[in-house]
Structures are given as C-alpha cells and as structure tokens.
Structure 1
Amino acid sequence: MFKKFTNGCVYVMNRYLPDPFLFAIILTIITFLGGMVLTAQTPLQMLLNWAGAKGFWGLLAFSMQMVLVLVLGSAMAQAQVFKNLLSKIAKTAKTPARGIMITAFVAVIACWINWGFGLVIGALLAREIAKEVKGIDYRLLIASAYSGFVVWHGGISGSIPLKVANEGALSAVAPDIFDKTFTISTSQTIFSPMNLFISGIIIFGLPFVCKAMMPDKEHTVEVDPSKLIDEQAITEDVSKFTPADKLERSKIMWVITLVLGFAYIIYNFTKVGLNLSLDFVNFIFMFVGILLHGNLRRYIDAITEAASSSAGIILQFPFYAGIMGMMTGMNPETGISLAGVISTTFVNISTETTFPLFTFLSAGIVNFFVPSGGGQWAVQAPIMMPAGSLIGVDPAKTAMAISWGDAWTNMIQPFWALPALGIAGLSAKDIMGYCVITLLFTGVIITAGFLIF
C-alpha cells in the first residue's frame, strides 16, 4: 500500500509538476491576483511591489551566494582527493537499500550541522553511490539527499534561532513587547527538548522512510551513465608551457593564496565557532577546493565546468524576489500585506495550545512564496511573535514554529532543490514525488512535537 501511494505521488509529480521556472511564474500570478483581492491593492501597486527596489532585484546578493554554493561545492568535489573520499563512503553501500539509507543519513546530519554544506555534500555523495551501486533508483537517491534539508532550520545553522539569540532582534519586530536586551538562548530553541525530539526522530527515521519508498524493479529508473561521466585528467606537456602557463601552475602562487585563505578560516573559527554563515561556508568551499586541486589552473578549469549548472538559480531567483516583494508590499492606506493576511488568519483561530501548530502551518504556506529564512522572519515575526506573547505562548516556541514551517514545505518547493538538481543533472519533477512522502512524514513528527511539548 505504501509503495503504491509513493508510486502514485511520483506519477502525479512527473506528469503535472512543471519546470521550476514555470512554477515560479505560476506563483507570481497567484500572488499578484491574491494581493489585489485580499489587500485591495491596485494592479499598479502590485506591479511596483513586484519590480520595485524590494522586489525583483531584492535577492541579488543571496542569488550570488546560492550560485557559489553550487559552483564552489561542485568544483571542490571535482578534486581527485575528494572524489576518492566520497568513493570510499559510497563503496560501503553494497545494496540499493543501503545506498539510499547512507545517502539520507549523511545528508540529514550534514544539513543539521550546516545547511549549505549539507545541500551540496548530500547530492555529491548520491552521485558517487549511483556509480558504485547497480539497480538503484537515481531519482529516489537524489530525493533522499535533498530530503535531509528538511531539518536545516532546526539545526545549528538555523537563521531564526541564531537571530533571536542576538540583542535587538526581537525588539525590532515587536518593540512594545520585547526590550532591546531580550534574547532567546539556543538552549531554548535549537537545544530545547522539543526541538531535539523533532530533529532526532527525523534524523534517525528519515533513512528508513527513504528505504521504504524504494520502487520495485519494474518502476526503478537507473541513472543515465552520461550524467555521471567526469572530465578526464589531461596530460600536460610541460615543455610547451608559456611563462603565463607556468605562472598559473606555480606552487608559490598556490601556497600564498592558501595561506591567506586558511589564515582567515582559522581566525574566524576562533571567533564564531560552528556558527557558520553562508558566506563563510562558501569561503571554506573555495579554499578547500583550491587546496585539493593542487594548483590554480586546475581550480579555474573546475570552476568553469561547474558554473554551467547554475543557470536555474540565475533565472529563477529574481522572480522569487518579486514574489517576496508582492507578499510583503503593504496597501498604503490600510498597512495590510498579503503575508500579513495569511498570518493574521491563523492567529485569529488559535488558542494557547494550537497557536504553535497554526504558526507552523502558516509559515509552511508563506514559505511557498517567500522561500528564505530571513525573508520568512521579516514577514511573520512582526505578527506572530507579539501575538504569541499576548496569547501566553513561549516566544522560543513561536520562533521555532516559524523556523520549522519555513523548512518543512521546502520539500515540495523547487527553490532550494536547484543546487542539488544542478549537481545531479535532474529536474524537479524527477524527485518531488518522493519528497511529498518526506513532507508527510516530517509533518506528522513536527506536529507531534509542538502538541506534546
């Protein structure tokens, strides 16, 4: 019965889920019309929200960060040393079932530690396992790698729990309720019994759920071998090198570059510990990649090859920025935004017991249109944090409800899957049927966590 349901989800997604770019266009149209109907804004106002300063080009910096996550992570993985390491891990997967479980477990652990790292490592490991294990469904393998991303906002790189641990973060969204010194410690959010319960069950349960989704031989889709072909190392004729060629391969230039990079990496670790920003993760990817490739020329070639897979991010992120602009754009007369309408609707039907659950569900809906942790906080915190306090809900629980809602529906929102899909050479519809099952499984666990605690 479970496999039939899974196969049904896979069939529906394969048949009806459009390309992620068209998905972004559909969301744009829905948001545009929803803003006019629910907030009484004019078409011109919605157009300006979409294309204005806080709209279409509002995610340029973040878009570049995501391009670098994909390109730098892929370039690092092209180094022979890294390939050998992933290959050794992949060789422990002797059967398709074990390959699926190892991929899911490594990905979910890595994403709990740091989402940027986990997003790339899971997909790279999946590729290596596909090379080693015959008869494994490549779509499920990549879906298992991406499914680990569902825990990111409950992990130690979660942007909202880290944000509320800083002075001024809460007073900025609810100055009438929180003073500038009020903070929420990570012991109350990331390391709270409720969050550890949710995270723990997902981390240890996800590999078994992914294994249970394995299709029979009739429905198994193995990888196209052409997707796994790596560039072969080219034997270089040193005698024909020009002075410029020699400079590009100079060990002195390579060492100087590495000294600068790793000096800062060591310094930053002493200052922030494991609180790794996305910029710092990319910094690590870059200099570890330079180290593993052995000289700057090989690294340049690896970056050039990896960059071709970033097209989806470059194309789609401006449209999501426009959607965010329309979601947060307010009617100048009433001060109402579309995101505010959604959040307030859930607040109005909540009690002290159900408020965290409804906050989680509303965050999951908003995440379709604002698929960014920082954007999610900016949209929902001014409504949910003061409302929760007035109802009598612990602010830490409200913050984590927003966090988990933001992470949860990423399973069926192609936005965050783009880096993994770029590495894998697949489209969103190939994996989203399996991700629906992950969504349902984790939804039950997260809901139980908020109701039990």
Structure 2
Amino acid sequence: MLRVLSRPAVRLVERYLPDPYIFVLLLTLVAAIAAMVVEGQTPQAVMRYWGDGFWDLLKFSMQMLLVLVTGFMLASSPPVRRLLDGLAGRVSSAGGAIVLVTVVSIMASWINWGFGLVVGALFAKALARQIRVDYRLLVASAYSGFVVWHGGLAGSIPLTIATPEHFMADSIGVIGTSDTIFALFNVVILAVLFVVIPLVNRLMLPPEDESVMVDAEQLAEPEPTPANFDRPAAYLEHSAILAWLVGFAGLFFLADHFLLQDGGLNLNVVNFLFLFLAIVLHRTPRALLDSLNEGIKGGAGIVIQFPFYAGIMAIMVDSGLAESLSQMFVSIASADTLAFWSFISAGVVNVFVPSGGGQWAVQAPVMIPAAQELGADIPRIAMAVAWGDAWTNLLQPFWALPVLAIAGLKAKDIMGFCLVQLLITGVIIAVGLTVL
C-alpha cells in the first residue's frame, strides 16, 4: 500500500516541486504579501524588514557550509571510506540498505542534528557503491531520520528552557530535560518513530524496474594528487608531521573540552571534530586540500539561499505575522488540545522560519501564556513546538541542502518519499503529544 501511495507522491513532487532556490523566492513573495494583507504592513515597511534581516544568518550559513565541507573531508579520508564501505559491504539487499541507513540516520540525528545530516548522507553514498538500490529512496531515507532531532540530545528548545536565565525564565522558570527530552511521552514518540520510519521507508521501496539506480563509479571519491617534490614547498604540502602536529592539537582540545570542562556537543564542536579528524586521517595537507576542493562544489545552495531565509524570518517576526499565525491556533485550543495545535502551528511556521531557536523566540510569548491560562502542561507545549519545527522539515528543503549536496541529487528527487513520511510521522507525533 505504501509503495502504491509513494508513486503518485513522487510523481507529484518531481513534476511540481521547484528547485529550492525557486522555492525560497516564492516563499519570500508569499511572506511579504501575507504581511501586507494580514498585518496591514506597508510595502516599504515589509521591504525594510526583509532587507534589514537579510544577513542575520551569516554565522549560521557558515556553520552549515562547514557541516557540509568538513563532513565531506572526513568521509573521504581513506580510513573512514574503508569503514563506511566495510559496513555497507555487510548489507546484502536493497531493503536492508534502506533500513540500515534510516536507523543510522535516526541514531546520529538524536545525538546531534548536524552530525545526523552528514553521517546519513555519507553512509547512503557508501551503500550505493555496494548495493543496487533506488538511490532517491536511499538518500530520502537518510534524510528522514532527521525528523527526530528536536526530541533528541541537541534539541534547541528543550535545551534553551533548561538553561538558567533563558528569556522565558521569569514566566516558567528553568525546566530540566527530565521533563522534556526524557519525559515518558517524548521517549515513547522516539521509540515508535525508531521502528516506524525505517519500516515505512522499506515498504516504499519500488521494484527494480521502477527504481532509479546510480552507477557506483559516479559516486567514487577522487584519487589523491600524486606527490611531486619539484619545489621546496611541496615537502610541506605532503608532510604528515605538519598535519599531525596541528590535527592532534585540535583533538587534545576536544578531549579537554569533553573530559575536563564538561563541555557539550553543539554545531561548532561537531564541525571542529570533523575538521581535525579529517586533518589527521588525510595524513597530508595536500590530500586534505584536494578533498576540500571536491567537497566545496556542493555548497552553492547554502551560500545563496540562506540569506533569503533570513529575510523571510525577519518579515514573519517583525511584521507580527508569525505571532498572529500562532495566536490563530491558540484561540481554538483547550487545555487538552493546546499541545496538538501548538504542534500544527509550529509546523506551519517552520516552513517560513526554519530555525528551532528562532521559532521558539517567536512562538513562546504566545504559547506559554496560553498554556498558563488554560492550565496546560508547559513542558509538553514546549516539546509540541519543538516537534512541529522538526516535523515539516520533511517538506521544507532548507535542511536537506547539505544532504542533497553530498549525495548529488535535487530536492525533487527525494521529497516525494519524504511527503509520505510527513503524513505518517505527523499522526504518530500528534497522538503522542495529546494522548500519552
């Protein structure tokens, strides 16, 4: 049944989903028009919101570009390539490849969302070099595990409200992760998704005559540049000692960060880890630079699109449109249904504001007073917003860009399968938030 359901979804998306750049341009126009029609903003005011906020994600854009590049460099190092190929070589069937890449992606995304995006995509490539399997579904499966990130260890909303002096502390105090990430309802949701997402992906596997295969040679990593010591500087470029002195220094810093300073795992730490592991494992600066030149090719979408999303976020927040959208759902909620409507509203807002932290800043001032007035469970409402933010990432190509760049696909190739997952996971999460 799921295979039959996925066929029209895939065809629909392949035919009508534009390139992510076109998608972000259309979202810009929709947000601008909505701000003028719904909020009564003038065109000049909307233009100023958009222009003033256009560069607000520069730091995050660089972080995401580094997620792509450092992850690619790490995976293309000889030891990691052998490890991924060895693990992929243990899989003997297309169905097994789909299930395994989904499980790995879910586990990695639960630890850290950036880690999950890169590991899932790289493992999908390794599997495709070993197994004949529909490459579109394989990459979609790697991306589908990302839906659990906001219920995991790096969820920005539960970690924010667990931090002393967070911006809503005066209203709700500090809420520990035992009431959010490790609450029974959240653990049950994660456990069910851990079983259902791989199963759904496996059941969507098309027959071989309908599958889109990829030639393993197309996914082969480039061979390193042969050493050529025709000039003195070449000895430095091919010096393992130089690379290891700096590389191991970075790894010792991380050991100090985790073991002696009790530091956490965030996006900067993940990028730092990927980079310095890549420096050590490539052995020479020249090998690392060759890998960098190959990996950077896929970063164009991140560079050009993220500023547009920053402009959209500014329109949504500064015009009051995001708050009005949240308030619309709150107005029809009761204490028992507020979690559900918070989840749905967060999913809608996420299409325009694809940032967990940014979305909480917009929705918390609406959702928290509503929860207090209705007597709803505040930690559950916070997690409802978190899950809504993560859920519609299966539809919003913003977060898929690093995965697509690594895999060499377009959004339309995977989003049809993700649309099926969107429908099924949405029901599971909504039931878990409102019934458990």
TM-score, L = length of structure 2: 0.97
Match of 2:421 in 1: 438
Residue 323 of structure 2 is matched in structure 1 by 340
Letter of the 1:400 partner, please give it.
M
- Cα deviation, residue 389, structure 1: 1.7
Alignment map for 1:53-452 (pairs within 5 Å): 55-134=53-132, 136-169=133-166, 172-173=167-168, 175=170, 177-178=171-172, 182-225=173-216, 227-237=218-228, 240-270=229-259, 273=262, 275-330=264-319, 337-452=320-435
Contact 1:157 1:275 in 2 (8 A): no
What is the alpha-carbon distance in structure 1 between the residues aligned to residue 286 and residue 272 of structure 2?
19
* Whole-angstrom CA distance in 1 between matches of 2:45 and 2:157: 30
CA deviation map 1:349-373 (0-9, x unaligned): 0000000010000000000000011
Deviations 1:123-157, CA, capped at 9 Å, x for gaps: 101011111012x1000000000000000000001
Partner residue in 1 for 2:44: 44
Query: In the alignment, is the contact (CA less than 8 A) between 2:225 and 2:290 conserved in 1?
Result: no
Q: Which runs of 5+ in 1 are unaligned?
A: 331-336
Gaps of 5+ in 2: none
> Which position in structure 2 is the counterpart of 1:35?
35
Contact 2:73 2:288 in 1 (8 A): yes
Instruction: Give the distance between the partners of 1:447 and 1:241, measured in 2 at CA.
Output: 65
Is the Cα contact below 8 Å between 1:227 and 1:425 reproduced in 2? no
1:250: Cα distance to partner? 2.4
Offset of 1:217 from its aligned partner? 2.3
- Residues 430 and 20 of structure 1, relative CA distance in 2, 3 Å threshold: same
In 2, the alpha carbon distance for the partners of 1:83 and 1:259 equals 20
* CA-CA distance at 1:224 after TM superposition: 4.3
Q: Give the count of matched residue pairs.
A: 436
Asked if the contact 2:129–2:220 (Cα under 8 Å) also holds between the matched residues in 1, the reply is no
| 8 Å CA contact retained: 1:111, 1:148 | yes
Q: Deviations over 1:167-222 (max 9, x none)?
A: 111xx2474x34xxx21101111000000000111112211110000012232111
For 2:82 and 2:248, the matched residues in 1 are separated by 25
Deviation at 1:93, TM superposition (A): 1.3
Distance in 2 between residues matched to 1:408 and 1:402, nearest whole Å: 10
CA positional deviation for 1:422: 0.2
Give the secondary-structure state (helix, strand or coil) at the position aligned to 1:156.
Answer: coil
In 1, Cα distance between equivalents of 2:243 and 2:21: 39
CA separation in 1, counterparts of 2:256 and 2:365?
36
Q: 1:334 maps to which residue?
A: none
What is the CA distance between 1:274 and its match in structure 2?
7.5
255-264 vs 207-216, which deviates more?
255-264
- What letter matches 2:346 in structure 1? A
- Residues 226 and 329 (structure 1 numbering): CA distance in 2 closer, same or farther, change over 3 Å? farther
- What TM-score, normalized to structure 1? 0.94
Distance 1:75 1:22 in 2: 29
Aligned-CA RMSD value: 1.3
Q: Do 2:248 and 2:280's aligned partners in 1 also have CA atoms closer than 8 Å? A: no
Q: In structure 2, what is the equivalent of residue 333 of structure 1?
A: none
Q: How far apart, in 2, do the equivalents of 1:375 and 1:234 lie?
A: 43
- Cα 1:272–1:187 change in 2 (3 A) is farther
Aligned to 1:25: 25
SS of alignment partner, residue 243 of structure 2: helix
For 2:152, give the aligned amino acid.
G
1:437 deviates by 1.1
Residues 324-349 of structure 1, C-alpha deviation per residue, up to 9 Å, x if partnerless? 0000013xxxxxx0001100001100
Alignment partners' CA distance in 1, 2:221 and 2:236: 26
Alpha-carbon distance in 1 for matches of 2:434, 2:416: 28
State how far apart, in whole Å, the 1-side matches of 2:137 and 2:240 are: 42
Q: Which amino acid aligns with 1:190?
A: I
Question: In structure 2, what is the Cα distance between the partners aligned to 1:214 and 1:126?
Answer: 15
8 Å CA contact 1:340–1:380 kept in 2: the answer is yes
CA distance in 1, matches of 2:2, 2:227: 54
